[in-house]
Amino acid sequence: MRVLVVGSGGREHALAWALSASPLLTKLWVAPGNPGTALVAENVGIAALHIERLVQFAREHAVDLVVPGPEGPLVAGLADAMAQAGICCIGPTAAAARLEGSKAFAKQLCNDAGIPTALWEQFTDVEEARAFIRRRGAPVVVKADGLASGKGVVVAATVEAAEAALDAIMRDRSFGDSGASVVIEECLMGEEISLFALCDGTDAVFLGAAQDHKRLGDGDIGPNTGGMGALSPVPGFDPGPAMDGFIRPALAEMARRGTPFRGILFAGLMLTADGAKLIEYNVRFGDPECQVLLPRLRSDLLPALLAACDGELGRFDLRWNAGAAVAVVMAAPGYPAAPEPGSDIGDLSAAAAVPGALVFQAGTRLDSGRLLADGGRVLTICGTGADAAAARAVAYQAVEAVPWTEGIYRTDIGVRSQYK
Protein backbone atom coordinates (compact mmCIF):
# COMPACT_ATOMS: atom_id res chain seq x y z
CA MET A 1 0.00 0.00 0.00
CA ARG A 2 1.16 3.46 -0.91
CA VAL A 3 -0.19 5.96 1.61
CA LEU A 4 -0.26 9.77 1.79
CA VAL A 5 -0.91 11.48 5.14
CA VAL A 6 -2.01 15.13 4.88
CA GLY A 7 -1.04 17.65 7.58
CA SER A 8 1.94 18.77 9.63
CA GLY A 9 1.16 18.53 13.34
CA GLY A 10 1.73 16.12 16.20
CA ARG A 11 -1.43 14.28 15.17
CA GLU A 12 -0.02 13.65 11.71
CA HIS A 13 3.31 12.54 13.14
CA ALA A 14 1.42 10.00 15.28
CA LEU A 15 -0.61 8.85 12.25
CA ALA A 16 2.54 8.45 10.16
CA TRP A 17 4.27 6.63 13.04
CA ALA A 18 1.37 4.17 13.39
CA LEU A 19 1.03 3.60 9.64
CA SER A 20 4.78 3.12 9.23
CA ALA A 21 4.54 0.00 11.43
CA SER A 22 2.03 -1.70 9.13
CA PRO A 23 3.31 -4.78 7.28
CA LEU A 24 0.95 -3.76 4.44
CA LEU A 25 2.81 -0.50 3.83
CA THR A 26 5.22 -0.13 0.92
CA LYS A 27 5.58 3.66 0.81
CA LEU A 28 4.51 6.51 3.09
CA TRP A 29 4.45 10.23 2.34
CA VAL A 30 3.36 13.17 4.49
CA ALA A 31 2.31 16.49 2.94
CA PRO A 32 3.71 18.82 4.07
CA GLY A 33 4.86 17.02 7.25
CA ASN A 34 7.49 18.22 9.71
CA PRO A 35 11.01 17.12 10.73
CA GLY A 36 9.42 14.42 12.92
CA THR A 37 7.37 12.86 10.13
CA ALA A 38 10.54 12.81 8.01
CA LEU A 39 11.89 10.19 10.44
CA VAL A 40 9.14 7.70 9.50
CA ALA A 41 8.03 8.85 6.03
CA GLU A 42 9.03 11.01 3.10
CA ASN A 43 7.84 14.61 3.35
CA VAL A 44 6.26 16.23 0.30
CA GLY A 45 6.30 20.04 0.02
CA ILE A 46 2.57 20.50 -0.62
CA ALA A 47 0.38 22.47 1.79
CA ALA A 48 -2.58 20.61 3.32
CA LEU A 49 -5.07 22.99 1.67
CA HIS A 50 -3.58 22.71 -1.81
CA ILE A 51 -6.11 20.14 -2.97
CA GLU A 52 -5.30 20.20 -6.68
CA ARG A 53 -1.62 19.57 -6.08
CA LEU A 54 -2.37 16.81 -3.57
CA VAL A 55 -4.58 15.05 -6.13
CA GLN A 56 -1.94 15.46 -8.82
CA PHE A 57 0.73 14.03 -6.50
CA ALA A 58 -1.50 11.10 -5.51
CA ARG A 59 -2.19 10.31 -9.16
CA GLU A 60 1.43 10.56 -10.25
CA HIS A 61 2.65 8.39 -7.38
CA ALA A 62 -0.12 5.80 -7.54
CA VAL A 63 -1.22 6.49 -3.96
CA ASP A 64 -3.66 3.82 -2.71
CA LEU A 65 -4.91 5.65 0.37
CA VAL A 66 -5.01 9.28 1.52
CA VAL A 67 -5.26 9.91 5.27
CA PRO A 68 -6.15 13.54 6.04
CA GLY A 69 -5.27 14.88 9.51
CA PRO A 70 -6.89 18.33 9.77
CA GLU A 71 -10.47 19.42 9.03
CA GLY A 72 -9.63 22.32 6.68
CA PRO A 73 -8.91 20.24 3.56
CA LEU A 74 -11.97 18.02 4.22
CA VAL A 75 -14.33 20.97 4.52
CA ALA A 76 -12.73 22.33 1.34
CA GLY A 77 -13.45 19.10 -0.59
CA LEU A 78 -10.25 16.99 -0.42
CA ALA A 79 -12.17 13.69 -0.17
CA ASP A 80 -14.46 14.67 -3.07
CA ALA A 81 -11.49 15.58 -5.27
CA MET A 82 -9.69 12.32 -4.44
CA ALA A 83 -12.86 10.31 -5.13
CA GLN A 84 -13.17 11.99 -8.53
CA ALA A 85 -9.62 10.92 -9.29
CA GLY A 86 -10.47 7.37 -8.19
CA ILE A 87 -8.25 7.54 -5.09
CA CYS A 88 -9.38 6.22 -1.73
CA CYS A 89 -9.42 8.93 0.96
CA ILE A 90 -10.46 8.13 4.50
CA GLY A 91 -12.34 11.31 5.30
CA PRO A 92 -15.79 12.76 4.73
CA THR A 93 -16.96 14.58 1.62
CA ALA A 94 -17.36 18.35 1.95
CA ALA A 95 -21.11 17.78 2.41
CA ALA A 96 -20.50 15.40 5.34
CA ALA A 97 -17.67 17.56 6.77
CA ARG A 98 -20.35 20.20 7.47
CA LEU A 99 -20.71 18.34 10.76
CA GLU A 100 -17.60 20.28 11.81
CA GLY A 101 -17.70 23.09 9.25
CA SER A 102 -20.98 24.52 10.53
CA LYS A 103 -21.99 24.51 14.19
CA ALA A 104 -25.61 25.26 13.21
CA PHE A 105 -25.63 22.25 10.86
CA ALA A 106 -24.39 19.97 13.66
CA LYS A 107 -26.90 21.36 16.15
CA GLN A 108 -29.78 20.91 13.70
CA LEU A 109 -28.65 17.34 13.07
CA CYS A 110 -28.72 16.71 16.83
CA ASN A 111 -32.27 18.02 17.02
CA ASP A 112 -33.37 15.94 14.02
CA ALA A 113 -31.71 12.75 15.30
CA GLY A 114 -32.65 13.17 18.97
CA ILE A 115 -29.02 13.53 20.11
CA PRO A 116 -28.75 15.32 23.48
CA THR A 117 -27.01 18.69 23.18
CA ALA A 118 -27.03 22.16 24.79
CA LEU A 119 -30.12 24.29 23.98
CA TRP A 120 -29.26 26.63 21.13
CA GLU A 121 -30.38 29.35 18.72
CA GLN A 122 -28.81 30.51 15.48
CA PHE A 123 -28.63 34.19 14.48
CA THR A 124 -27.56 36.01 11.34
CA ASP A 125 -28.44 39.43 12.75
CA VAL A 126 -26.13 40.88 15.38
CA GLU A 127 -28.83 42.93 17.16
CA GLU A 128 -31.20 39.99 17.41
CA ALA A 129 -28.36 37.92 18.83
CA ARG A 130 -27.57 40.69 21.33
CA ALA A 131 -31.20 40.91 22.45
CA PHE A 132 -31.26 37.13 22.93
CA ILE A 133 -28.09 37.21 25.05
CA ARG A 134 -29.53 39.99 27.24
CA ARG A 135 -32.79 38.08 27.66
CA ARG A 136 -31.06 34.80 28.47
CA GLY A 137 -28.33 36.13 30.75
CA ALA A 138 -24.99 34.53 31.62
CA PRO A 139 -23.23 32.17 31.60
CA VAL A 140 -23.78 31.63 27.91
CA VAL A 141 -21.70 30.29 25.02
CA VAL A 142 -21.19 32.25 21.78
CA LYS A 143 -19.88 30.39 18.72
CA ALA A 144 -18.96 31.48 15.22
CA ASP A 145 -20.92 29.16 12.92
CA GLY A 146 -18.00 28.34 10.61
CA LEU A 147 -14.42 27.13 11.08
CA ALA A 148 -12.24 29.42 13.20
CA SER A 149 -9.14 27.33 13.96
CA GLY A 150 -10.64 26.34 17.30
CA LYS A 151 -10.85 29.99 18.39
CA GLY A 152 -14.45 30.85 17.50
CA VAL A 153 -16.01 29.69 20.80
CA VAL A 154 -16.37 31.92 23.85
CA VAL A 155 -17.77 30.57 27.11
CA ALA A 156 -18.91 33.87 28.59
CA ALA A 157 -19.35 34.26 32.36
CA THR A 158 -21.06 37.64 31.96
CA VAL A 159 -23.47 39.27 29.50
CA GLU A 160 -20.77 41.88 28.73
CA ALA A 161 -18.25 39.19 27.81
CA ALA A 162 -20.85 37.47 25.62
CA GLU A 163 -21.64 40.72 23.82
CA ALA A 164 -17.94 41.43 23.31
CA ALA A 165 -17.56 37.97 21.76
CA LEU A 166 -20.59 38.54 19.58
CA ASP A 167 -19.20 41.85 18.32
CA ALA A 168 -15.81 40.31 17.59
CA ILE A 169 -17.35 37.43 15.66
CA MET A 170 -20.24 39.15 13.83
CA ARG A 171 -19.44 42.84 13.62
CA ASP A 172 -15.63 42.83 13.40
CA ARG A 173 -15.58 39.49 11.55
CA SER A 174 -12.47 38.33 13.45
CA PHE A 175 -12.92 34.94 11.76
CA GLY A 176 -14.05 36.26 8.39
CA ASP A 177 -17.18 34.73 6.88
CA SER A 178 -17.22 32.08 9.62
CA GLY A 179 -18.88 34.82 11.68
CA ALA A 180 -21.71 35.56 9.23
CA SER A 181 -23.86 33.56 11.59
CA VAL A 182 -23.55 32.63 15.26
CA VAL A 183 -24.88 29.89 17.47
CA ILE A 184 -25.69 30.90 21.04
CA GLU A 185 -26.03 28.07 23.49
CA GLU A 186 -26.74 27.08 27.02
CA CYS A 187 -23.55 26.65 29.07
CA LEU A 188 -23.03 23.02 30.08
CA MET A 189 -21.13 21.99 33.20
CA GLY A 190 -19.21 18.79 33.75
CA GLU A 191 -16.25 16.71 32.63
CA GLU A 192 -15.36 16.84 28.94
CA ILE A 193 -14.59 13.69 26.97
CA SER A 194 -13.39 13.21 23.41
CA LEU A 195 -14.99 10.13 21.81
CA PHE A 196 -13.65 8.76 18.51
CA ALA A 197 -15.21 6.40 16.00
CA LEU A 198 -14.09 5.09 12.64
CA CYS A 199 -17.06 5.22 10.27
CA ASP A 200 -17.76 3.74 6.85
CA GLY A 201 -21.01 5.54 6.07
CA THR A 202 -23.16 2.91 7.77
CA ASP A 203 -21.18 1.20 10.51
CA ALA A 204 -18.92 2.59 13.21
CA VAL A 205 -16.11 1.10 15.30
CA PHE A 206 -14.98 2.62 18.61
CA LEU A 207 -11.57 4.26 18.13
CA GLY A 208 -10.95 5.19 21.74
CA ALA A 209 -11.81 7.97 24.14
CA ALA A 210 -9.53 10.54 25.70
CA GLN A 211 -9.56 13.52 27.98
CA ASP A 212 -8.05 16.68 26.54
CA HIS A 213 -6.65 19.49 28.73
CA LYS A 214 -7.66 22.65 26.90
CA ARG A 215 -6.55 25.38 29.27
CA LEU A 216 -2.98 26.63 29.13
CA GLY A 217 -2.19 26.41 32.82
CA ASP A 218 -2.05 23.82 35.59
CA GLY A 219 -5.36 23.38 37.38
CA ASP A 220 -7.31 24.30 34.23
CA ILE A 221 -6.65 28.01 34.36
CA GLY A 222 -5.64 30.51 31.67
CA PRO A 223 -6.70 30.79 28.04
CA ASN A 224 -8.15 27.99 25.91
CA THR A 225 -5.66 26.29 23.62
CA GLY A 226 -5.77 23.61 20.95
CA GLY A 227 -5.03 21.17 23.78
CA MET A 228 -2.10 20.98 26.21
CA GLY A 229 -2.23 17.27 26.90
CA ALA A 230 -4.39 14.19 26.91
CA LEU A 231 -5.11 10.99 28.78
CA SER A 232 -6.53 7.73 27.46
CA PRO A 233 -8.45 5.66 28.42
CA VAL A 234 -10.77 7.84 30.51
CA PRO A 235 -11.35 6.12 33.87
CA GLY A 236 -14.96 5.16 34.41
CA PHE A 237 -16.13 6.10 30.91
CA ASP A 238 -18.23 3.44 29.17
CA PRO A 239 -18.01 3.86 25.39
CA GLY A 240 -20.97 1.57 24.53
CA PRO A 241 -23.80 3.96 25.42
CA ALA A 242 -21.85 6.91 24.00
CA MET A 243 -21.42 5.13 20.63
CA ASP A 244 -25.18 4.40 20.63
CA GLY A 245 -26.14 7.89 21.77
CA PHE A 246 -23.82 10.13 19.77
CA ILE A 247 -22.16 8.25 16.89
CA ARG A 248 -24.70 5.78 15.45
CA PRO A 249 -27.68 8.18 15.32
CA ALA A 250 -25.51 10.84 13.65
CA LEU A 251 -24.36 8.31 11.03
CA ALA A 252 -27.95 7.17 10.41
CA GLU A 253 -29.15 10.76 10.01
CA MET A 254 -26.29 11.67 7.65
CA ALA A 255 -27.05 8.59 5.53
CA ARG A 256 -30.77 9.39 5.54
CA ARG A 257 -29.96 12.86 4.20
CA GLY A 258 -27.94 11.36 1.36
CA THR A 259 -24.57 12.53 2.71
CA PRO A 260 -23.17 9.43 4.45
CA PHE A 261 -20.23 10.03 6.78
CA ARG A 262 -17.04 8.13 6.15
CA GLY A 263 -13.94 8.86 8.18
CA ILE A 264 -13.13 9.63 11.79
CA LEU A 265 -15.99 11.09 13.76
CA PHE A 266 -14.97 12.87 16.96
CA ALA A 267 -17.78 13.64 19.39
CA GLY A 268 -16.87 16.20 22.07
CA LEU A 269 -19.08 15.32 25.02
CA MET A 270 -19.88 17.00 28.31
CA LEU A 271 -20.81 14.61 31.11
CA THR A 272 -23.43 16.76 32.86
CA ALA A 273 -25.61 16.01 35.88
CA ASP A 274 -28.37 15.29 33.30
CA GLY A 275 -26.24 12.77 31.41
CA ALA A 276 -23.85 13.16 28.48
CA LYS A 277 -24.51 15.95 25.98
CA LEU A 278 -22.84 16.77 22.70
CA ILE A 279 -20.63 19.88 22.63
CA GLU A 280 -19.55 19.49 19.02
CA TYR A 281 -18.64 17.09 16.26
CA ASN A 282 -15.27 17.10 14.54
CA VAL A 283 -14.59 15.13 11.38
CA ARG A 284 -11.02 14.05 12.21
CA PHE A 285 -8.77 12.88 15.01
CA GLY A 286 -8.12 15.30 17.85
CA ASP A 287 -4.70 16.76 18.51
CA PRO A 288 -3.30 15.78 21.08
CA GLU A 289 -5.91 12.99 21.50
CA CYS A 290 -4.58 11.09 18.48
CA GLN A 291 -1.16 10.90 20.14
CA VAL A 292 -2.61 8.94 23.11
CA LEU A 293 -5.03 6.77 21.10
CA LEU A 294 -2.69 5.34 18.49
CA PRO A 295 0.01 4.13 20.92
CA ARG A 296 -2.76 2.14 22.65
CA LEU A 297 -3.97 0.54 19.41
CA ARG A 298 -2.71 -3.03 19.13
CA SER A 299 -4.39 -3.72 15.75
CA ASP A 300 -2.86 -2.52 12.51
CA LEU A 301 -4.36 0.90 11.70
CA LEU A 302 -3.97 0.57 7.93
CA PRO A 303 -6.44 -2.31 7.27
CA ALA A 304 -8.95 -0.60 9.56
CA LEU A 305 -8.79 2.59 7.48
CA LEU A 306 -9.09 0.56 4.27
CA ALA A 307 -12.11 -1.32 5.60
CA ALA A 308 -13.75 2.02 6.42
CA CYS A 309 -13.01 3.24 2.88
CA ASP A 310 -14.52 0.08 1.42
CA GLY A 311 -17.67 0.20 3.57
CA GLU A 312 -16.70 -3.02 5.31
CA LEU A 313 -16.43 -2.01 8.95
CA GLY A 314 -19.40 -4.18 9.93
CA ARG A 315 -17.11 -7.18 10.24
CA PHE A 316 -14.23 -5.30 11.80
CA ASP A 317 -12.94 -5.25 15.35
CA LEU A 318 -10.01 -3.36 16.85
CA ARG A 319 -7.82 -4.63 19.65
CA TRP A 320 -6.20 -2.37 22.25
CA ASN A 321 -3.20 -2.64 24.51
CA ALA A 322 -3.89 -2.83 28.23
CA GLY A 323 -2.72 0.19 30.18
CA ALA A 324 -2.84 3.92 29.59
CA ALA A 325 -1.20 6.72 27.65
CA VAL A 326 -0.56 10.31 28.71
CA ALA A 327 0.57 13.02 26.29
CA VAL A 328 2.17 16.29 27.38
CA VAL A 329 2.29 19.13 24.87
CA MET A 330 5.35 21.37 24.91
CA ALA A 331 4.51 24.77 23.42
CA ALA A 332 6.52 27.82 22.46
CA PRO A 333 6.61 30.71 24.97
CA GLY A 334 3.75 33.12 24.24
CA TYR A 335 1.39 30.35 23.08
CA PRO A 336 -1.53 30.57 22.34
CA ALA A 337 -1.69 34.33 21.66
CA ALA A 338 1.73 34.96 20.10
CA PRO A 339 4.12 32.00 20.14
CA GLU A 340 7.76 32.99 19.77
CA PRO A 341 9.46 31.13 16.94
CA GLY A 342 13.10 30.21 16.60
CA SER A 343 14.26 28.85 19.95
CA ASP A 344 16.65 25.91 19.88
CA ILE A 345 14.98 22.61 20.87
CA GLY A 346 18.13 20.53 20.95
CA ASP A 347 18.61 16.79 20.69
CA LEU A 348 15.46 14.73 21.31
CA SER A 349 17.18 11.35 21.44
CA ALA A 350 17.39 11.16 25.26
CA ALA A 351 13.63 11.80 25.54
CA ALA A 352 12.85 9.24 22.84
CA ALA A 353 15.07 6.69 24.62
CA VAL A 354 12.99 6.75 27.84
CA PRO A 355 11.33 3.30 27.91
CA GLY A 356 7.63 3.62 26.99
CA ALA A 357 8.01 7.19 25.69
CA LEU A 358 7.21 8.52 22.21
CA VAL A 359 8.24 11.93 20.92
CA PHE A 360 5.94 13.48 18.32
CA GLN A 361 6.88 16.72 16.59
CA ALA A 362 4.51 19.49 15.47
CA GLY A 363 5.72 23.10 15.07
CA THR A 364 9.37 22.30 14.43
CA ARG A 365 11.82 23.22 11.69
CA LEU A 366 15.32 22.13 10.80
CA ASP A 367 17.86 24.86 10.14
CA SER A 368 21.36 23.68 9.21
CA GLY A 369 20.85 20.56 11.27
CA ARG A 370 19.46 22.43 14.31
CA LEU A 371 15.90 21.67 15.40
CA LEU A 372 14.04 24.92 16.07
CA ALA A 373 10.59 25.81 17.44
CA ASP A 374 8.37 26.99 14.59
CA GLY A 375 4.78 27.21 15.79
CA GLY A 376 2.53 27.19 18.85
CA ARG A 377 2.42 23.57 19.87
CA VAL A 378 5.91 22.27 19.17
CA LEU A 379 6.21 18.75 20.66
CA THR A 380 3.89 16.13 22.09
CA ILE A 381 5.66 13.83 24.51
CA CYS A 382 3.69 10.65 25.09
CA GLY A 383 4.18 8.14 27.89
CA THR A 384 2.67 4.68 28.03
CA GLY A 385 2.38 2.48 31.10
CA ALA A 386 0.33 -0.01 33.07
CA ASP A 387 -2.00 2.74 34.31
CA ALA A 388 -2.41 6.51 34.11
CA ALA A 389 0.06 7.17 36.93
CA ALA A 390 2.74 5.02 35.29
CA ALA A 391 2.13 6.58 31.87
CA ARG A 392 2.31 10.03 33.40
CA ALA A 393 5.62 9.26 35.10
CA VAL A 394 7.08 8.09 31.77
CA ALA A 395 5.77 11.15 29.92
CA TYR A 396 7.24 13.61 32.41
CA GLN A 397 10.54 11.74 32.61
CA ALA A 398 10.79 12.17 28.84
CA VAL A 399 9.71 15.84 29.02
CA GLU A 400 12.56 16.45 31.46
CA ALA A 401 14.96 14.82 29.01
CA VAL A 402 14.07 17.41 26.33
CA PRO A 403 16.86 20.03 26.36
CA TRP A 404 14.55 22.85 25.12
CA THR A 405 14.54 25.31 28.05
CA GLU A 406 12.04 27.78 26.52
CA GLY A 407 9.26 25.21 26.07
CA ILE A 408 6.17 25.60 28.30
CA TYR A 409 4.00 22.71 29.44
CA ARG A 410 1.48 21.70 32.07
CA THR A 411 2.67 19.56 34.95
CA ASP A 412 -0.73 18.05 35.78
CA ILE A 413 -1.76 16.15 32.63
CA GLY A 414 -3.71 13.05 33.59
CA VAL A 415 -3.53 13.82 37.31
CA ARG A 416 -7.25 14.08 37.90
CA SER A 417 -7.82 10.48 36.89
CA GLN A 418 -5.90 9.33 39.93
CA TYR A 419 -8.64 10.66 42.20
CA LYS A 420 -11.38 8.66 40.47
CB burial of residue 206 (10 Å; 0-12, 13-18, 19+): middle
Question: Of 81 and 207, which has the nearer Cβ to ligand GLY?
Answer: 207
Judged by CB under 6 A, the residue of 200, 212, 300, 374 near ligand GLY is 212
Give min distance, CB of 179 to ligand GLY, in A.
Answer: 19
282 binds ligand GLY per the rule CB under 6 A: yes
Q: Which stretch binds ligand AMP (CB under 6 A): 31-39, 157-165, 182-190, 403-411?
A: 182-190
Residues 148-177 that bind ligand GLY (CB under 6 A): 150
72 binds ligand GLY per the rule CB under 6 A: no
Residues 84-143 that bind ligand AMP (CB under 6 A): 118, 141
Residues 245-264 that bind ligand AMP (CB under 6 A): none
What residue 200 binds from ligand AMP, ligand GLY, none (CB within 5 to 8 A, per partner kind)? none
3-state secondary structure the chain: CEEEEEECCHHHHHHHHHHHCCCCCCEEEEEECCCCHHHCCEECCCCCCCHHHHHHHHHHCCCCEEEECCHHHHHCCHHHHHHHCCCEECCCCCCCCHHHHCHHHHHHHHHHHCCCECCEEEECCHHHHHHHHHHHCCCEEEEECCCCCCCCEEEECCHHHHHHHHHHHHHCCCCHHHHCCEEEEECCCCEEEEEEEEEECCCEEEEEEEEECCEEECCCEEEECCCCEEEECCCCCCHHHHHHHHHHHHHHHHHHCCCCCEEEEEEEEEEECCEEEEEEEECCCCCCHHHHHHHHECCCHHHHHHHHHCCCHHHCCCCECCCEEEEEEEECCCCCCCCCCCCECCCCHHHHCCCCEEEEECCEEEECCEEEECCCEEEEEEEEECCHHHHHHHHHHHHHCCCCCCCECCCCCCCHHHHC
308 binds ligand AMP per the rule CB under 6 A: no
Q: Which stretch binds ligand AMP (CB under 6 A): 24-32, 123-131, 148-156, 339-347?
A: 148-156
Give min distance, CB of 414 to ligand GLY, in A.
Answer: 15
Give min distance, CB of 259 to ligand GLY, in A.
Answer: 22
What residue 286 binds from ligand AMP, ligand GLY, none (CB within 5 to 8 A, per partner kind)? ligand GLY
Residues 236-255 that bind ligand GLY (CB under 6 A): none
How far, in Å, CA of 370 to CA of 106, rounded? 44
Number of CB atoms found within 10 A of residue 256's CB: 11
Residues 288-307 that bind ligand GLY (CB under 6 A): 289
64 binds ligand GLY per the rule CB under 6 A: no
287 binds ligand GLY per the rule CB under 6 A: yes
Question: Of 89 and 329, which has the nearer Cβ to ligand AMP?
Answer: 329
With beta carbons less than 8 A apart as the criterion, state whether 365 and 378 touch.
Answer: no
192 binds ligand AMP per the rule CB under 6 A: yes
CB burial of residue 22 (10 Å; 0-12, 13-18, 19+): middle
Judged by CB under 6 A, the residue of 169, 264, 279, 354 near ligand AMP is 279
Judged by CB under 6 A, the residue of 153, 205, 309, 330 near ligand AMP is 153
Question: Of 281 and 409, which has the nearer Cβ to ligand AMP?
Answer: 281
8 binds ligand GLY per the rule CB under 6 A: no
297 binds ligand AMP per the rule CB under 6 A: no
Q: Which stretch binds ligand GLY (CB under 6 A): 35-43, 135-143, 245-253, 282-290?
A: 282-290
Give min distance, CB of 226 to ligand GLY, in A.
Answer: 6
200 binds ligand GLY per the rule CB under 6 A: no
Q: For the sheet containing 204-212, what is the strand order?
A: 275-282, 262-272, 191-200, 204-212, 229-232, 324-331, 377-385, 357-361
Q: Which stretch binds ligand GLY (CB under 6 A): 122-130, 231-239, 280-288, 357-365?
A: 280-288
268 binds ligand AMP per the rule CB under 6 A: yes
145 binds ligand AMP per the rule CB under 6 A: no
- Polymer length of the chain: 420
339 binds ligand GLY per the rule CB under 6 A: no
With beta carbons less than 8 A apart as the criterion, state whether 80 and 93 touch.
Answer: yes
Give min distance, CB of 10 to ligand GLY, in A.
Answer: 10
Binding site for ligand GLY (CB under 6 A): 150, 212, 226-227, 282, 286-287, 289
Binding site for ligand AMP (CB under 6 A): 118, 141, 150, 153, 155, 185-188, 192, 214, 268, 279-280
